[in-house]
Amino acid sequence: MGFKLACQAFFKALKDPKKTQEFLEEKPKVLESHEASHLRLLAMLQHSGRLVDFLKEDLSSFTDSQIGAAARKIHQDCAQSLEEVVTIRPIMEEKEGATVRVAQGYDPTLIKVVGKVKGEPPYQGVLVHKGWKAHKRSLPKKSGEYNQEIICPAEIEVK
């Protein structure tokens, strides 16, 4: 924070201490259900492929072949689930490593130009990464009361 901004905040707080106290006591807002879609997606990937379990597992005691076998199944299951709710397609169709041209007026949210960039477009360079864009987003909404922070409940088997 800059010194000027800090001084402004100080004098504003000094001028209206009641409002400052209310601000300091204000509780953080709980995420609305539409804002927790990233957690629902993570929960879905956990349910279909146990992705969170895999990512949180200590893999040091497993062999590369064991990890590879597990990763293949997780990859397959999670990719299928992801395709069902978010259709993701590459931004650039060319193969990575191909020489491509970036036209004048390109959209910088779609194309990130890196390296020794000089002057104005058009640019010519090597495609390092195709990029990804979501074309369909249909994450199902949760219904009823639920704790949106729970990605996957603990599971107890009673015998």
pLDDT in tens, 57-104: 999 999 999 999 999 999 999 999 998 888 889 999 999 999 999 999
Beta bridge partners of 149: none
Mention every residue, 6+ apart, whose C-beta is less than 8 A from residue 108: none
**Structural domain range at position 89:** 31-137
On whether residue 3 sits in a domain, the answer given is no
Identity of the residue numbered 31? L
On whether residue 151 sits in a domain, the answer given is no
On whether residue 67 sits in a domain, the answer given is yes
- The number of folded domains in the chain is 1
Contact 39, 151 (CB under 8 A): yes
Contact 142, 124 (CB under 8 A): no
On whether residue 2 sits in a domain, the answer given is no
- pTM attached to this predicted model: 0.59
DSSP 158: -
How confident is residue 146, by pLDDT bands cut at 50, 70 and 90?
A: low
Helix axes 17-25, 3-15, angle to 10 degrees: 110
On whether residue 95 sits in a domain, the answer given is yes
* 13 vs 67, higher pLDDT: 67
